[in-house]
Structure 1
Amino acid sequence: MKKLKWILTLITALVTIAILIIVFFDELKHDYDKLTSTPPIKIKAIELEIPIRDVAVIADFDKGAKAAQSGDFKTALAKWAPLAEQGHAGAQSNLGVMYASGQGVPQDHRTAVEWYTKAAEQGYAAAQHNLGVMYAHGKGVPENDKIAVKWYTKAAEQGHGNAQHNLGVMYDKGYGVPKSNMAAVKWYTKAAEQGSALSQYNLGVIYDNGHGVTENYKTAIKWYTLAAEQGFANAQSDLGNMYHSGKGVPESDNTAVKWYTLAAEQGYAQAQHNLAVMYDKGYGVPENDKVAVKWYTKAAEQGYASAQTNLGIMYNNGHGVVTDYVRAYMWFNLGAYNGNTLGSQNKASITQDMTSAQITKAQEMSSRCLESNYSDC
């Protein structure tokens, strides 16, 4: 009876340690690729008869995990390297992460691939996914989308959320496999249901535009909202568009402004431009030219052509700023350079009110702005 109690106590302790280990596997992996949110953790059942040497392995691995979590990669390497050499898949995978990211060791993508491969061939999903990333981006190996798909598929079929998303991308774009909207939706959906904001957003785009599925604005709203609520700026911006146009939801400029603002504050240029338009026109907020100029400027300085043209209009008309034809010409010129037709038209029109010296100055300002990557405009 006492022996049975001792065994049960040991098992409980080992389960606790195993949970900590599995959590750390996932966290360390995401430090490397950071593609999507962390999928739910699946814990493998521990069998009753556990050799004492396995207890020591778990203890060593746990020490390495705690060291890595505290930034002590030297100790982590000392604990994991011997385990990896003995064939421990988790240690092999984490050594791959360390070499891929240069944590505690000189960055070496080839060595990272070697360790990922050892773990992946044992069926370790995180390593299979990361190995897929290495082949997809040609890091440590020649770029090979077909092999990337192979490893993404193995990990995805084990329920690995990042791999499911990446496999969806491969089918969506036709990288390494024949393009298949149906397969893309299948894998995006699996990842989205695990909380992947990227997959949720991509599903929103697919249903919004009817790419390979029947166009469905309500379903698009569902996925955009889930991604937006996780703070994904692209989704927040597109959700703002849906509320502004009343697609799949009752039209609401107030709600559109809310979502545009959240995305704009993250630096998303399209949302900054759209938020500026809302203040410029008084949609969902009191009309405020100064605030409109603020947001047009932020988007324009990221090279967003429509914002550059609209900012030129503000300077041309003296809305929210002092009238300045030279600066207006500069922004029209930049908007035209970046492909905005209205910018080109406005640039031609405003020259009628400018001297040749002003035009020359505006052109010089445009060149300086571009050469400085919009830091000197």
Structure 2
Amino acid sequence: MTISRRISLTLLVAVVPCWASPASAFDGADVASQGVKAAGRLSLFETPSQAFRQGMDGYRSGNFKTSVEAFEYAAANGNPLARWKLGRMYASGDGVPQDDDKAYRYFSQIVANYDEEDGDRRDLSVVSNAFVAVGVYSLNGLPKTGVKADPERALEMFQYAALNFGNADAQYNLARLYLDGADGALPKDPRQAVRWLALAADKGHLQAQALLGHMLFNGFDGMPPQRAKGLMWLTMARDAALGGKDPKDAWIVDLYGKAASSASDSDRQVASLYLDEHHKRN
């Protein structure tokens, strides 16, 4: 089985002990600097939330200059939604020049300012996804800006989001680390990988379903194949991949095709029963 070592930032979807929040990950100097720059626009916005709403209005209308100014004000004044939106925009070059360094810094601000003691958090999905984004950047590094690859920090980010938020993207990325190993930070452990893939797959994570199905169909780490169960997951992943029509998901269709071509009639029949049971439960 060949699995790419690099995890894409586009992959933005267990009862265990709580981990301490790694809030020391980001130097607050950037926040202060942005606050000074945003102060000049104070008269334009009554509150950070109002600035964020105005930024979204500008974004939806295609007025990116206005929206970025509003988002920057809201972000500099602690609005995690604005920080997430700016991070996403810079990560993908959506209305702004693509800039992974800026994206990383905005995502890091969210991680650094997360307070798990705050009981009234309506932005947990944003916080959860920010942990995953910082994990991906930490795993791959940013050579042009001096951010070195740090597998241990990537592992910390993925574990935190997987354990505390049940984030499917984090669970999938954590499984990938267990499959490949993490440069000394984590030994290879296919059985742990399957555990995390199963959790993400149950949440509908397309790539997790495909990898889980592939491993179960073929067997792994001395475990015998579960061909019908594997074919069930591969079928679900294939159907979703075809529905989405994303060229990046061609590998999923390919995995399904290879399994289906070697599956017996019995494998297909039992897989169909498993699939019906899964749909009924969900």
**TM-score, structure 1 normalization:** 0.50
Contact 2:56 2:67 in 1 (8 A): yes
Confirm or deny that 1:225 pairs with 2:198. yes
Q: Label 1:246 to 1:109 Cα distance change in 2 as closer, same or farther (>3 A).
A: same
Q: Distance in 1 between matches of 2:228 and 2:95?
A: 49
Q: Which residue of 1 aligns with 2:234?
A: 260
Q: Give the structure, 1 or 2, with the largest relative contact order (CA under 8 Å, sep 6 or more).
A: 2
Cα deviation 1:153-179 (Å, max 9, x = unaligned): 111223411211111111122134211
Q: Which residue of 1 aligns with 2:155?
A: 185
Q: Distance in 2 between matches of 1:140 and 1:263?
A: 32
Q: Which residue of 1 aligns with 2:55?
A: 96
Q: Distance in 2 between matches of 1:128 and 1:164?
A: 13
Deviation at 1:205, TM superposition (A): 1.1
Q: Which residue of 2 aligns with 1:235?
A: 208
Contact 2:138 2:151 in 1 (8 A): yes
Q: Which residue of 2 aligns with 1:277?
A: 258
Contact 1:135 1:141 in 2 (8 A): yes
SS in 2 for 1:265: helix
**TM-score, structure 2 normalization:** 0.65
Q: Which amino acid aligns with 2:182?
A: H
SS in 2 for 1:87: coil
How many residues align structurally?
A: 206
Q: Distance in 2 between matches of 1:84 and 1:216?
A: 55
Contact 2:231 2:267 in 1 (8 A): no
Q: Which residue of 1 aligns with 2:135?
A: 168
Bigger mean CA offset, 268-277 vs 202-211: 268-277
Structure index of larger Rg: 1
Q: Label 1:195 to 1:286 Cα distance change in 2 as closer, same or farther (>3 A).
A: closer
Where in structure 2 are the equivalents of 1:39-50 lying within 5 Å? none
Deviation at 1:182, TM superposition (A): 1.1
Contact 1:200 1:226 in 2 (8 A): yes
Deviation at 1:190, TM superposition (A): 2.1
Cα deviation 1:193-243 (Å, max 9, x = unaligned): 313222211111111111332001122112111111111111101001211
Q: Distance in 2 between matches of 1:137 and 1:181?
A: 23
Q: Distance in 2 between matches of 1:84 and 1:169?
A: 37
Structure 2: give runs of 5+ residues left out of the alignment. 1-9, 14-41, 115-126, 243-248, 270-282
Cα deviation 1:81-125 (Å, max 9, x = unaligned): xx994431122123223322x1xxx21222221111111111111
Out of 210, 233, 245, which is 2:218 matched to? Answer: 245
Contact 1:36 1:161 in 2 (8 A): no
Q: Label 1:88 to 1:237 Cα distance change in 2 as closer, same or farther (>3 A).
A: same
Contact 1:204 1:223 in 2 (8 A): yes
Q: Distance in 1 between matches of 2:231 and 2:98?
A: 42
Where in structure 2 are the equivalents of 1:361-376 lying within 5 Å? none
Contact 1:155 1:163 in 2 (8 A): yes
SS in 1 for 2:137: helix
Q: Which residue of 1 aligns with 2:102?
A: 147
Q: CA RMSD in A?
A: 2.7
